[in-house]
Chains A and B, each alone.
Chain A
Amino acid sequence: MTPRVFIGAGAGFAGDRSDAGGPVVDALAKADGPRFLIYETLAERTLALCQLERRKDAGRGYSPALERMLSPVLARCLEGGVKIVGNFGAANPPAAGKRIAEIATSLGLRAPRIAVVEGDDLTGRMSKAELAARETDGNLLVQARDIISANLYLGARPIADALDQGPDIVVTGRVADSALALGPLLHVFGWRADDWDRLAAGTLAGHLLECAAQITGGYFADPGYKDVPGLAEVGYPIAEVDADGDIVITKPSGTGGIVNRLTVIEQLLYEIHDPAAYLAPDVVLDLNPVEVAEIGKDRVRVFGARGKPAPETLKATVCIDGGVLGEAEISYAGPNAAARAQLAAEIIVARLRQRAPALKVRVDAMGATSVLGASDRLPDLSAPANDIRLRFAAQSADAAQIEMLLDEVEALYCAGPAGGAGVRRHVTPRLASASCLIERRYAEPRVTLLGAAA
């Protein structure tokens, strides 16, 4: 039997469950072959916020999800020979490495060998004008005052190089999500840099895993049409990949969820544009020849990916200040609720027309049980609703204008229609992001081994 590499997904985004990695680690520890647990925790916004945090404190700026995700699995990974690869580094991969070492110490574990991948951060290396000249689909950067973050998507090679040094954990900043899986495969199988079909297969494995539960029944269930057993305890996926790039997607036994042709194809096409050209740093993946076959319970084989030479440029995401988003909500319920809600919306529009004429305000009306429900039972969604919750939203570089909107909504309590209830107000700083295509010479990946005590 050809050797297989086992790659499990511990999280598909920073807000993901932190207890899902456990069953994946338990399954991986029993697997007969090299095994890896990957974590994707880096949204565009997360990275920019981390960069701001690093500016304030040079010891911070790594993913806020690091501690929550790794603490429950670190001991079992070190015991079971499961290597962890994650982009927890965000804006400060060395600080993430140090933090992981501290977590291991605090848990009484042996000192893990930690490899840190850097070189994705372009701030300080490219000016705003240089980035602006490379922006695709827009001209946000020309008008921007200040760049908050600018990060290239590194490929799988630096991750493979890091694994070649024998660490227990590889922590990166921005890498292509799929590289989290392709890196371990390059490390184990030694695929050549121009072995396009295998690189494509490894990229596909990473793409299938990168949103974790989205291939095992998450983002899928539609009761009566697409039922998923045990969704509350959905198992996160494991990919078994052989030296030719043949993939089997499965999940830990005893977990909820489902892996079948349909869950796999939905994820295969998730966030895809032209299926013939899925651009990754290491290869261009062609999904057209890919086939999917159910080969057992919760086991789906995915094969046939073809690759084309890697793009000449690398994608980078650049974040700039996007002002603030303000949101305020108020409810009207019971008889004539719709008319009272309508009146409230008209009052806000009229008030702002006078006081903030340039502010664009969106109004949503939602309704099932926003205020007439109860705290000791689930809402009865089969009953007709007469409970409307208005939401007002606006965005501005001028925070005072946003506060004015929120104040106007709150003032509806006393000065608006009868029965206005449950005002909530939120202000969220916003980031705007631009995509750039950057020449490869700007990528300077480097690997550092920390805590080489063991």
Chain B
Amino acid sequence: MTRRVRLQDIANARAGDKGNRLNIALVCRDPKDYAAIATQVTAERVAQIFAARKPTRVVRYDLPKLAAFNFVLDDVLEGGVNASLGLDGHGKSLSFMLLDMPVDVAARAQAPT
């Protein structure tokens, strides 16, 4: 039995920048969800989510000891904090674009309330 949740229901995310490169750390709130997230939140899927920002490369690094993943997206910040015309040149808000993704998890997982 699985149920569909939003990634925000089961994981934390934090965005950071270096120049025109964005990283998003994704951390399982319950390490038991690690495998389900690993299968579904692939680098390809993340590249699709951020397609409007035209990443030239998306890499996922896996950190099983932390039940976490690190996504690195190249060239998605319109040149970065010194060059972007947008208000969020750091990309700090972009972790929530990832957290909006639907995922299927084992039915036991409950959203915290």
Contact = CB atoms under 8 A, between A and B. Distances in A.
A272 B87 contact: no
B21 A273 contact: yes
Interface residues of B, number: 29
A433 B79 CA distance: 10
25 contacts: A44-B82, A220-B12, A222-B8, A225-B111, A225-B112, A265-B12, A265-B68, A266-B25, A267-B14, A269-B16, A269-B23, A269-B63, A269-B66, A270-B16, A271-B17, A271-B18, A275-B61, A275-B70, A289-B65, A290-B66, A304-B65, A325-B85, A361-B85, A430-B82, A433-B82
B25 A322 contact: no
B63 A288 contact: yes
A208 to B, nearest CB: 13
B32 to A, nearest CB: 14
Contact of B66 (A44, A222, A276, A292): A292
A431 B89 CA distance: 13
Contact of B83 (A137, A291, A322, A391): A322
B112 A394 contact: no
Interface in A205-239: 219-220, 222, 224-226
Contacts of A391: 87
Interface of A, helix, strand, loop or mixed by DSSP: mixed
Contacts of B82: 44-45, 322, 430-433
A290 B18 CA distance: 23
Interface residues of A, number: 44
A272 B70 contact: yes
A270 B12 CA distance: 12
Interface in B52-87: 61, 63, 65-66, 68, 70, 72, 82-83, 85-87
A130 B71 CA distance: 34
Contact of A275 (B14, B63, B111): B63
Q: Which 4 A-B pairs have the closest CB atoms?
A: A269-B25, A271-B16, A362-B85, A266-B14
A268 B19 CA distance: 19
Contacts of A276: 61
A271 B12 contact: no
Interface string A359-391: 011101000000000000000000000000001
A178 interface: no
Contacts of A51: none
Contacts of B19: 137, 433, 435
Contacts of A224: 112-113
B27 interface: yes
Nearest to B72: A273
Interface string B9-36: 1001010111101010101010000000
